[in-house]
Amino acid sequence: MTNCPICGGDIEYTTKKVTHTYKNHSRDIEQVGEYCTKCNEGFLSPKDLKSTKEDIVNFHREVDHLLTTKELKRIRKKFISMKLHKSHKIDL
């Protein structure tokens, strides 16, 4: 895109802080995408959306009092490590 389809302004690929709101909680997220320099409208590709998906999902999990992806990975890694350690003791 070179011109904004809404106002005709110039489009620039950049990163902007976007406020994401979920269940009355808000968080600023750095969103990469194409933005109009005149009307500030954003045009996001699937690749742009994918780059912030994990941040948004973790924000929702924090609001819902669930484990984040990093916490889940840490627990799974520890569980697998414990499982391997026990299997060596039993000689499986």
Q: How many domains does the chain have?
A: 1
Question: Mean pLDDT over residues 54-81, rounded?
Answer: 92
| Distance between CA atoms of residues 16 and 11, nearest Å | 13
Q: How far apart are CA 31 and CA 10, in angstroms?
A: 18
CATH number at residue 75: 3.10.20.860
Q: Note the pLDDT tens digit of each residue in 16-30.
A: 999 999 999 999 999
Q: What is the mean pLDDT of residues 31-41?
A: 94
Answer whether residue 80 is part of any domain: yes
Q: Which residues pair with 15 in a beta bridge?
A: 32
Is 38 part of any domain?
yes
Instruction: Compute CA distances 45 → 4, 29, 81, whole Å.
Output: 15, 16, 39
